Structure 1
Amino acid sequence: MVRLLWTVCALAFVISMALYPRVVFDGAALGLKTWWNIVFPALLPFFIASELLMNFGVVHFMGVLLEPVMRPLFNVPGAGSFVMMVGFFSGYPIGSMVTARLRSEGLCTRIEAERLMSFTNNSSPLFMLAAVAIGMFNNPKVGLLIAGAHYLSNLTLGLGLRFYGRDGRERYPGPPHRDGSIIRHAFQRMLQVQREDRRPLGKVMGDAVRSAVTNLLNIGGFIILFAVIIRLLTTAGVIDALAGILGMLLLPLGFAPGILPALGSGFFEMTIGSKLASEAAAPLIQRVTAVGMILAWSGLSVHAQAASMIAETDIRMKPFIMTRLAHTALAGLYTYLACSWFAPLEEATAPAMAAAGGWQALAPYTHAKIFGFFLAILAGVILLALLAHLAGSLRLFFLRLKR
């Protein structure tokens, strides 16, 4: 039945392309422009660097070194710290790609891979701070609020996901425990991986570049495909219908009707949805919150990219999609609270701010306040996670005493 449904969708897509060739061409051109001008130059260096670092054993080094940190906080192996690093600094869908690599090399269990994949897929900081804040809102402060809420909500989910699948039978043994310096053992593990890889340096670099370009071509295909789908669905009125469904949930919360079409488009592709949200006829705080929600959901285009990255592993997509829904709600809440605290501009201060450039006229100490706000929330969440870990450890200790 599932294959039959996909067959019907494919036939409908082909018929729509035949009926609206101009719409298809415009959508494909927009998708290609987005991929070539934004995604390709932003992700290619990170893809190559991540491949090289994994080939040189850096992920094994971090696995030994950071096992005492990653295990109590996120209940994942120390190698997951490498996934977090590249996932938080490079953007979608590199977290899925590196997670799949860890799973294929046996460095984590399936449950741990699903945890990692669920909270290490983030929007690129370059996209949020440059493309969204400056390119769409013409305001750097917006980027700080969106990025802070985006990362904080994902870390919150990562700390909560430590309880997901705790009854799984598969166990990753982790690095062997040895006496002596953990740093020395981490270096020994990295050198061991380098000795086992017999390829010459030129071959290693060539394979890294080839793999990175292949993955980016795959991503570009998904971006172009979903850009075309969005144009066709907009022409057919499906986006407006989806906006109406979202309106039943969001209008009672006070969202302006003008923001709904942007959220409907962002359901499929985040870049187009973010652009529409920044231009919507709605209060500034709602437009910023909508962009935060769209980036957290990331769009079906990114979901398809992530699915293609893990296609050859046993990692399941369901936890990833459920986490994206939770990330959407949490990022929207954090973004709204941050905007309400730092920049309640719409009514009282908007006229005075307009002449001075809006949020750019805020005092310089606002950066420190924003950073302190998100840092305080993160510290509280980490403290709760550590208390939960301590409670679990004490429970196991007393159960062993009873036995």
Structure 2
Amino acid sequence: MYRSKVKTIILAGTASFLAFALVTFPATAVEASKDGLNTWWTIVFPSLLPFLILSEVLIGFGVVRFLGVLLEPVMRPLFKVPGVGGFVWAMGMVSGFPTGAKLTARLREEKQVTKVEAERLVSFSNASNPMFIIGAVSAAFFHNPKLGFLLAGAHYLANFTVGLCMRFYGVDEKIPKDKKSSKVPSLKRALRELHHTRLKDKRPLGKLLGDAVTSSIQSLLMVGGFIILFSVINRLLFHLQVTSLLAGFIDKFFELFSFSTALSIPFIAGIFEITLGSKLTSGVESSTLMQQAIVTSMILGFCGLSVQAQVASILAQTDIGFKPFFFARILQAIFASIYTYLFWDVFSANFLNDDKPAFAMPAFLEDQGWISQATQKWMEIGPTFTIICLSVYVVILFFRLPGKKRTV
């Protein structure tokens, strides 16, 4: 009871403090909201929507179950999750946050994974996508696409390590004989499961596609709200000097490792929002590139409270616990920074030493102009794509209103 009252006071006090800050700095809040909205409708929405819709369709058609049977002999021994976790893991890597959480929740709703298996799966199936690490962080922020190889390698290797660690989490439920993994993948059984899954989903194609679109857009609307909210919170905390106060404690930690204390404020910003933290880290001139890379790896691994709030909101709709995911993010931040440090000498000698490069970089990576052009083009068409998709979403909802039995 006492803990509950303390929690109530803390939550009420935090909300009141943020309300006071909004009233005190209205112009700052509006600008931060615009920045968050711009990020969402130019990059996040058009990047994630196709993957989410495609994932929903593949689940409905039974393709995910088909892949699950084939991947069972690999995923079960490594991570103690069903083979369908391989699909979730791959989609989470390619499309980025919070696709892994969305798909894990979907599989849990269909009872394709147990509660413990879902908590293991969600802990390592969420990661930054390669285009964000190489295009946004490395090319746009650091102006060095080569650095993306190190950051991405450390990020995904840390993610894999987290998966191996989380296999020891929880107590395994008894697996039915028909779901136990075999040593050799069975294509016949995979095809049978695909067919049975498709027959079980009695929705016609039009209904399945409509559900996929509405479900995906609803998730992205929630994601957009969190991006805007944390963009405002981050900016307000900076203006209220709260970020500087927290950075004072981080300074002591960085001094232990002989890091520049100027990295503390970007690190605090990265705890709240991954993009802003990475951008600020790249601009700290008093630190070495190695120190910037290590701090950026920590930020990418922790993924920011903004992304974690998105995941928590998705998981709240199921019985999947959030604490394992949060613990896994701390582990990934630690592992990613360690791997970046361990691989730095090799990376620096082979990719950053222009006098005697050990490996020749591909021409498309040496010339980073195409990355900037592609990013700029994507940002130009992003808002138009978002508006069109939202219009389609509104039309689908209109025809699903009670009394609207007509077909489109």
What is the TM-score normalised by the length of structure 2?
Answer: 0.82
Which residue of 1 is the match for residue 312 of structure 2?
Answer: 307
CA–CA separation in structure 2 for the residues paired with 1:33 and 1:174: 51
Kindly report which structure 2 residues correspond to 1:286-301, keeping only aligned pairs within 5 A, or say none. 286-301=291-306
Which residue of 1 is the match for residue 259 of structure 2?
Answer: 255
SS of aligned partner of 1:130: helix
CA–CA separation in structure 1 for the residues paired with 2:126 and 2:150: 18
Kindly report which structure 2 residues correspond to 1:241-280, keeping only aligned pairs within 5 A, or say none. 241-280=245-284
Which residue of 2 is the match for residue 89 of structure 1?
Answer: 94
Kindly report which structure 2 residues correspond to 1:28-177, keeping only aligned pairs within 5 A, or say none. 28-165=33-170, 167-168=171-172, 170-173=173-176, 175-176=178-179
Per the alignment, do residues 247 and 177 of structure 1 end up closer, same or farther by CA in structure 2, a change over 3 Å counting?
Answer: closer
CA deviations over 1:371-390 (Å, ceiling 9, x no partner): xxxxxxxxxxxxxxxxxxxx
CA–CA separation in structure 2 for the residues paired with 1:176 and 1:157: 25
CA–CA separation in structure 2 for the residues paired with 1:205 and 1:175: 31
CA–CA separation in structure 2 for the residues paired with 1:173 and 1:28: 50
Equivalent of residue 231 in structure 1, options 232, 235, 242: 235
CA–CA separation in structure 2 for the residues paired with 1:268 and 1:178: 40
Aligned sequence identity (%): 44
CA–CA separation in structure 2 for the residues paired with 1:259 and 1:271: 15
CA deviations over 1:46-65 (Å, ceiling 9, x no partner): 11111111111112112211
CA deviations over 1:175-210 (Å, ceiling 9, x no partner): 446999710110111111111222121111111111
Per the alignment, do residues 13 and 175 of structure 1 end up closer, same or farther by CA in structure 2, a change over 3 Å counting?
Answer: farther
Per the alignment, do residues 258 and 177 of structure 1 end up closer, same or farther by CA in structure 2, a change over 3 Å counting?
Answer: closer
Counterpart of 1:242, as a letter, is L
CA shift, 1:4, in A, is 3.3
Q: How many residue pairs end up in the alignment?
A: 355
CA RMSD of superposed structures (Å): 2.2
CA shift, 1:366, in A, is 6.3
Residue 294 of structure 2 contacts residue 340 of structure 2 at CA under 8 Å; is this kept in 1? yes
Residue 72 of structure 2 contacts residue 181 of structure 2 at CA under 8 Å; is this kept in 1? no
CA shift, 1:80, in A, is 0.9
What is the TM-score normalised by the length of structure 1?
Answer: 0.83
Per the alignment, do residues 71 and 265 of structure 1 end up closer, same or farther by CA in structure 2, a change over 3 Å counting?
Answer: same
CA–CA separation in structure 2 for the residues paired with 1:178 and 1:315: 23
Per the alignment, do residues 196 and 26 of structure 1 end up closer, same or farther by CA in structure 2, a change over 3 Å counting?
Answer: same
Which residue of 2 is the match for residue 192 of structure 1?
Answer: 196
CA–CA separation in structure 2 for the residues paired with 1:271 and 1:177: 42
Counterpart of 1:277, as a letter, is T
Per the alignment, do residues 48 and 362 of structure 1 end up closer, same or farther by CA in structure 2, a change over 3 Å counting?
Answer: farther
Per the alignment, do residues 286 and 31 of structure 1 end up closer, same or farther by CA in structure 2, a change over 3 Å counting?
Answer: same
Matched, 1:213 2:220: no
CA shift, 1:171, in A, is 3.3
SS of aligned partner of 1:330: helix
CA shift, 1:70, in A, is 0.8
CA shift, 1:316, in A, is 1.1
Counterpart of 2:282, as a letter, is S
Structure 2 alignment gaps of length 5 or more = 363-408
CA–CA separation in structure 2 for the residues paired with 1:255 and 1:212: 42
CA deviations over 1:211-246 (Å, ceiling 9, x no partner): 111111100100000000001000111111221111
CA deviations over 1:244-292 (Å, ceiling 9, x no partner): 1112212211111121111010010000000001111211111111111
Counterpart of 2:176, as a letter, is P
Per the alignment, do residues 174 and 85 of structure 1 end up closer, same or farther by CA in structure 2, a change over 3 Å counting?
Answer: farther
Counterpart of 1:125, as a letter, is P
Residue 109 of structure 1 contacts residue 172 of structure 1 at CA under 8 Å; is this kept in 2? no
Counterpart of 1:173, as a letter, is P
Structure 1 alignment gaps of length 5 or more = 368-403
Residue 281 of structure 2 contacts residue 296 of structure 2 at CA under 8 Å; is this kept in 1? yes
CA shift, 1:296, in A, is 0.3
Residue 94 of structure 2 contacts residue 129 of structure 2 at CA under 8 Å; is this kept in 1? yes
Bigger drift between 147-156 and 32-41 goes to 32-41
Which residue of 2 is the match for residue 7 of structure 1?
Answer: 12
Residue 155 of structure 2 contacts residue 297 of structure 2 at CA under 8 Å; is this kept in 1? yes
CA–CA separation in structure 2 for the residues paired with 1:144 and 1:313: 36
CA–CA separation in structure 1 for the residues paired with 2:265 and 2:181: 58
CA shift, 1:364, in A, is 3.8
Counterpart of 2:174, as a letter, is R
CA–CA separation in structure 1 for the residues paired with 2:289 and 2:204: 55
Bigger drift between 174-183 and 151-160 goes to 174-183
CA shift, 1:113, in A, is 0.8
